[in-house]
Amino acid sequence: GFFRNGNPVNFMGVSEFAESTLVRVYSQQSGLFLGVGFIDEDGKVAPKRSVVY
């Protein structure tokens, strides 16, 4: 819900990526593609483009 509303979220494995890296985001429960995000300066995934179903 947070990602879909435009809020940055924590996720496991963020340390593997450099800041400003684009990543695909999927729902953990349903596996649906939620959109594209990027790693922000706080080490969270912030939404860039989200998909509306």
Domains and CATH numbers, the chain: 1-53 (2.30.130.10)
pLDDT digits (tens, 9 = 90+) for 26-45: 988 999 999 999 998 888 99
Q: Per DSSP, what are the bridge partners of residue 35?
A: 25, 50
Q: How high is the pLDDT of residue 13? A: 67
Cα(16)–Cα(13) distance, integer angstroms: 6
Q: How high is the pLDDT of residue 52? A: 85
Q: pTM for this structure?
A: 0.78
Cα(27)–Cα(19) distance, integer angstroms: 22
Q: How high is the pLDDT of residue 22? A: 92
pLDDT digits (tens, 9 = 90+) for 1-28: 888 899 999 887 667 778 888 999 998 8
What are the b/e assignments for 3-42, b being 16+ CB within 10 Å? bbeeebeeeeebeeeeeeeebebeeeeeeeebbebbbeee
Long-range contacts of residues 21-25, Cβ cutoff 8 Å, at least 24 apart:
22/48
